[in-house]
A = this chain, B = another copy of it.
Amino acid sequence: MSENISTFVKTADWKAEKHVPAIDAPAEAKAGEPVEISVAVGKEIPHPNTVEHHISWLALHFVPAGSQTSIELGRFEFSAHGQAAKANEGPAHVAPSVKTTVCLAASGTLHATAYCNIHGLWTSSAAISVVQA
């Protein structure tokens, strides 16, 4: 079977490799109740945040247990990396970190993906157990 884009989605331990997104989510949630989930690159090792080298976006997907289909929950673009501004303005930066709120109806796995403009696609995952309320 030939290569496809999956071949180029890299993974590693986020504590050791700065590109890997870290997911902070509770291990257990109640069905249909809101849960805050944090996704961040650089939780342990900061990633550069410059015009030349930065994290462009983070995406968060969910795959229900037993499913073969990934559901996109959200996608978060980070647009300001200190690009040139007028002298009196000073640059703005946004960190590659986001908190979002989801409601799930069944257990499954959260998958975060990060895109670095130099080093490409990275991913990590976290299981979440959903109990009926």
Contact = CB atoms under 8 A, between A and B. Distances in A.
What is the size category of the interface that chain A forms with chain B? 35 or more
Give the copy number. 4
Interface in A119-133: 119-121, 123-125
B78 A77 contact: no
A25 interface: no
A6 B66 CA distance: 16
B97 A73 contact: no
Given A92-B102, A98-B99, A80 B71 contact: yes
Contacts of A10: 68
A73 B69 contact: no
Contacts of A75: 76-77, 79
B70 A8 contact: yes
Nearest to A7: B6
A107 to B, nearest CB: 10
A14 interface: no
A26 interface: no
